[in-house]
Structure 1
Amino acid sequence: MGHGRGSKCPHHRGMSHTQITPAQQSCPNHSGFTLIETMVVVALMAILAGMAAPSFTGAFQRYRVGTTADDLMASIYLARAEAIRSGQQTVIRRQTACGLSLTNARDWSCGWQVFIDLNDDKVLNNNEVLVRQVDLGQQVTVRKHNVVDPQVLSFDRFGQVTQRGQGMSISPRGQQTANLDMVCFSQGTRIRAFKNQPSSVTSCPTT
């Protein structure tokens, strides 16, 4: 006898599992998610993503700050090596042409250039060798602590910094309360990096 309207799909007991009847082929497949279930899952994923976003943002900011501090340290070591190799003063000078509105002469947020300063004027001239150039994006703020010679770091022919007690701070741009990294000069040629310092710290630690 045929199946009436609204009846269930036939199972045909006793038939081999490899045999499919025409009635079974026409039976609709109801497996999968409903529209409501899918919407609930999407909503939950959006909530979880929103909760995780601040953590990811903070991690990216810390990565940019750390990378910039590493670039500065590498430039300092390179400038010292070039000063000793060439027997000339070597200078790290801030860049100013990058489209940012720099706050003052201590703002190094555009990046910097490393060059051998043949005439000791601390300016890159046409006859002088550009050793390295670091171009920063618009994601970090780099500031020099000292108001004396704020645009340069210079090293004598022995590789020693010519103005001791200097320091640089690197922080996420536009984040006034975010923690920062510092690169500091102590006596002689010692350079120290201080990671994840409070934003209230404005000078290098003395210890």
Structure 2
Amino acid sequence: MPLTFLPPPSLRHPGSGFTAVELMVVVAITAILAAMAMPSYRNLIDRYRVRQATEDLTAMLYLARAEAIKRGGRITVHKASSEDCSTAGAGDWSCGWIVFVDSDQDGAFDAGDEQLQISPAPRGVNVKFVLGTGRSFMQGDAWGRFGGMGGFSFELKPKRNPNIDFQVHLCMSSGGRLRMLKGSALCS
């Protein structure tokens, strides 16, 4: 009987896959790249949150103005407060806001008032009423103007990174026109 030559086991089945050293090198490179990308990712998230809060506040102001014109006034925009979110002063609107038909025009949401919209606290964003005195509510008249204030603005900026480049000022003129100013630009 002839003998057949069998190759050694290492030649019969060539190894497939990665060695432990190769795998560790790939993991190390991935960790370095992730660490380099993290700060810019945080900035992206902060900008997105400010933009989202600005859009929510803009939509709420347009709704309140339209409802005030439609209903002949009696619309109130009030800063929200709850047990899990409290703000320091009247000008701090970081807990959200509520729009309602204020039947007795006292500026407070009472039993007889109709809620039109409630916006929860914007996540990771400080919202401040900055032009004029800090106010906890505004009332719209039949012309869509808010309390004869002559104009007002809100300042929105990230809580985690109060970089001036990320902040936004939302300005409403006495006639009801909204503008958004980015960075250090202020409403006039």
SS of residue in 1 equivalent to 2:37: helix
CA distance change for structure 1 residues 32 and 127 in 2, over 3 Å: closer, same or farther? same
* Structure 2 residue aligned with 1:194: 181
- Greater RCO (Cα-Cα under 8 Å, separation 6 or more): 2
SS of residue in 2 equivalent to 1:50: helix
* Residues 106 and 147 in structure 1, CA contact (< 8 A), matched pair in contact too: no
* Residue ranges of structure 1 left out of the alignment (5+ in a row): 10-26
Deviation at 1:171, TM superposition (A): 0.9
Counterpart amino acid of 2:89? Answer: N
Equivalent pairs: percent with the same residue?
A: 32
Deviation at 1:40, TM superposition (A): 0.3
Deviation at 1:167, TM superposition (A): 0.6
* Structure 2 residue aligned with 1:142: 127
* Residues 50 and 168 in structure 2, CA contact (< 8 A), matched pair in contact too: yes
* Residues 161 and 188 in structure 1, CA contact (< 8 A), matched pair in contact too: no
* Structure 2 residue aligned with 1:176: 162
* Structure 2 residue aligned with 1:95: 80
| Structure-2 separation of matches of 1:7 and 1:157 | 91
* Residues 53 and 122 in structure 2, CA contact (< 8 A), matched pair in contact too: no
* Structure 2 residue aligned with 1:37: 22
Aligned-pair Cα RMSD in Å: 2.1
Deviation at 1:137, TM superposition (A): 4.4
| Structure-1 separation of matches of 2:83 and 2:26 | 45
Deviation at 1:3, TM superposition (A): 4.5
Q: TM-score, normalised by structure 2?
A: 0.87
Deviation at 1:174, TM superposition (A): 3.5
* Residue ranges of structure 2 left out of the alignment (5+ in a row): none
| Structure-1 separation of matches of 2:33 and 2:61 | 43
Q: TM-score, normalised by structure 1?
A: 0.80
| Structure-2 separation of matches of 1:182 and 1:123 | 26
| Structure-1 separation of matches of 2:145 and 2:17 | 71
* Residues 183 and 192 in structure 1, CA contact (< 8 A), matched pair in contact too: yes
Deviation at 1:187, TM superposition (A): 3.4
Deviation at 1:29, TM superposition (A): 2.5
Structure with max Cα Rg: 1
CA distance change for structure 1 residues 76 and 118 in 2, over 3 Å: closer, same or farther? same
> Greater CA deviation, 142-151 or 64-73?
142-151
> Greater CA deviation, 92-101 or 69-78?
92-101
